[in-house]
A and B are shown apart, each in its own frame.
Chain A
Amino acid sequence: MGLAQNVVFGLVTGSYIAIAAIGFTLIYGIVNMINFAYGEYLTIGAFTGVLAAGALPLPLAALAAMVGGGVASLLLAWAFFTPINDTGPVPMLLTSIGLGLVLRNAIRIAAGQGARYYDTTTSTFHLRGLPDLSVGSVDLLGNFFVTSRMLVVVGCAVAVFLVLHALLTRTDIGIAMRAMGDDESLARVRGIDTQFVRNAVWVLAGVLAGLAGVLIGIQTNVNVTTGFSHILQILAAAILGGAGSPYGAIAGSYVIGLVVALSTAFLPSSMTGLSSAMAFLVLVVVLLVKPSGIAGTEVREA
């Protein structure tokens, strides 16, 4: 069992989750709600992408998916979430659960139950000849491989992080987002149009969800539950990282990705089916020990 190989896998999984978790956590920090319908935003992105991929080359199709995701997110927020902004996190959470149910089934009616696939080819690159560095039965290094698809995913994730960082530190809207995330009343006092910022966050989260949906769709397939099957991992990553902090979400995502990969590799073989339950276990432990997560964001306790 190669540690290096599994670390590579973990980083790839973490990258998918990170792109989505950033959007999720921004919604949490600025709109102040846990959006349980977020998985469906990924699914919408994945479907938009696969439909666009029929007519456009893949990168453009991905762009179309991102645009589609952003627009859908804004429309859904305008219809369902903005009107109840003042009711508090719990009603908004419950609304998002209802919305998720509605969207999943609407997509099922519209798209049917079969899976659709992207048409892609992948090349594999092996790195051989590396020393094994064995510790017991575990090879710290050893041979490993990466595929072109994995590189694309990690590349996209890194690009997203850089763009996001630039956005949050160098643009007005980004700085306004950070201000609102820290203290909404203070931001309003300073003249920031909070509803505008919230709308911007919805669009941004939708764009990220669209991209993540396309990447997951390429890796697996596009069907009704493409996004929904990952919502709990995204949630765990965001909370682990410190709810509301995009940088924390990135860190949290990679932790989750690594935990899932390493637990598959090293758990006793009768328990490998539990590897995604591991993500929840991590979540629960974090909530108990340090609810403020890696980034240490302030958590108003009950």
Chain B
Amino acid sequence: MSVADRLPTGSAERAALLGSVLVVVGVAFAASPLTATFPGDLTVFVEIAVLFTVYAILVLGLDLQYGHTGLVNFGHVVFFAVGAYTVAMLASQGSFAGLSLGLPWPLALAASLVTAGVVGAIVGATSLRLRDDFLAIATLAAAEIFHSLTENLEVFGGTTGIFSIPQPLAAAAADYDTTLLVTLLVFGGLTALTYAGLKRLTDAPYGRVLRAIRADELVTRSVGKSVFTYKMQAFVYGAALAGFAGGLFALYNGAVAPTFFTIQVTVTVWIGMLLGGASNHRAVLGGLAVIMGIRLVSRFANDAAPMSSAEFASLRLIVVGMILILVIRYRPAGIWGDAKELGVDS
């Protein structure tokens, strides 16, 4: 492996730089007495944008597992939930329900990464040898089990959830608008850094092995690569990233509850990934933006539509379902994906 093989591409370096700058600027802004305001009409967009950055980390992790390694993980929300609940239980101070240990939040955030990774390792060790659709079922079952546990066990706060989680950015910033802006900057920066890291990983020979596994495991094994080890690593990294996103979410929202971690999250992230084009980091971010954008825009469109908002809500979901069906049938490589690369042209 010569040095040339290990050089990162320009895109990853740019993203790393952008990410670091955003995080630094965001933190500095928060710490300073400066405030920001933006037109009230845009607030809802900024809020959705913050949620987008969190889900973006989820989709990048999932893309590593499916787009690059071919692992069909249909329980991705479980790692998101594990990370969020870890931060909640460790860092919350005197919550109304559930466990609250009051530890410092950086520790909790680091723990969220680790716990999610460990859960990923457990799920992976047990399920990665299964064939594709069975793996999908196993991961789905794991997510449902965890969801059930969070609703029923006291230590997770049951259906109420865990409150009083410290919100470091909100505490530092002067008012709500500033908090939103700063959160967007910092989370956006972290997403860019995640992108940079993953791009570097997948552009390197490591990424080639992953894609070889996705294409044909038997061949890859026959050239001497320990397929299972690579699969485990990809799975655990993806899980750890999802846990990190969960930790960030908890520190932003200040509370967690089972209703934030349902199969809807998994479905949204999957549709975003497939719509954009799996295995292309930028494409999946684009796909996620499109799907979240549709949900947002359609809510405004409800005012113009001649039907009750209950029917409209159902109609919106029908559109989302049809998008999934149509993408798989007519454009399996996604909007920006490369059909040959993914092996879906036939």
Contacts and interface: CB of A to CB of B under 8 A. Distances in A.
Contact of B131 (A97, A106, A288, A299): A299
Main secondary structure of the interface of A (DSSP, over half): helix
B132 interface: yes
Interface residues of A, number: 47
Contact of B321 (A101, A232, A280, A283): A101
B311 interface: yes
Contacts of A105: 314-315, 317-318, 321
Contacts, number: 128
Contacts of B132: 88-90, 302
A239 interface: yes
A183 to B, nearest CB: 17
B332 A97 contact: no
B118 interface: no
A302 B133 contact: no
Interface string B124-168: 001111111111111001101100110110000000000000000
A86 B145 contact: no
B137 A98 contact: no
A34 B332 CA distance: 19
B31 interface: no
A97 B267 contact: yes
B184 interface: no
A186 interface: no
A287 B139 CA distance: 11
B144 A277 contact: yes
A102 interface: yes
Interface stretch (B42-50, B94-102, B290-298, B322-330): B322-330
A197 B217 CA distance: 31
B131 A301 contact: yes
Contacts of B128: 302
Interface in A273-300: 273-274, 276-277, 280-281, 283-284, 287-288, 291, 299-300
A235 B134 CA distance: 11
Contacts of A225: none
A300 B134 CA distance: 10
A299 B134 contact: yes
Contact of A83 (B129, B131, B141, B329): B329
B52 interface: no
Nearest to A282: B141
B217 A99 contact: no
A94 interface: yes
B129 A302 contact: yes
A84 B330 CA distance: 10
A88 B136 CA distance: 14
A271 interface: yes
A87 interface: yes
B304 interface: no
A93 interface: yes
Given A105-B318, A284-B145, A302 B152 contact: no
Contacts of A284: 126, 138, 141-142, 145
Nearest to A33: B133
A188 interface: no
A80 interface: yes
Contacts of B274: 94
Contacts of B310: 113
A100 to B, nearest CB: 7
Nearest to A96: B325
Contacts of A94: 270, 274, 324, 328
B328 A98 contact: yes
A109 interface: yes
A254 B132 CA distance: 27
A63 to B, nearest CB: 30
B51 interface: no
Q: Which of B151, B322, B328 has the most CB of A within 10 A?
A: B328
B134 A239 contact: yes
A302 B141 contact: no
B340 to A, nearest CB: 16
Contacts of B328: 84, 87, 91, 94-95, 98
Given A109-B314, A302-B217, A84 B127 contact: no
Contact of A90 (B136, B141, B267, B314): B136
B320 interface: yes
Contact of B137 (A83, A239, A273): A239
Interface string B197-214: 000000000000000000
A104 B315 CA distance: 11
B346 interface: yes
Interface in A233-255: 235-236, 239, 243
B318 A86 contact: no
A281 B145 CA distance: 7
Nearest 8 CB-CB pairings of A with B: A98-B324, A101-B321, A102-B321, A277-B148, A105-B314, A98-B325, A98-B321, A280-B141
13 contacts: A34-B133, A83-B329, A89-B133, A90-B136, A94-B324, A98-B321, A98-B322, A106-B318, A273-B151, A277-B149, A280-B144, A287-B127, A302-B217
Given A299-B131, A302-B129, 17 more contacts: A83-B329, A87-B328, A89-B132, A91-B332, A94-B328, A95-B325, A106-B314, A108-B314, A232-B141, A232-B144, A277-B148, A280-B141, A280-B144, A280-B148, A284-B141, A287-B127, A302-B131
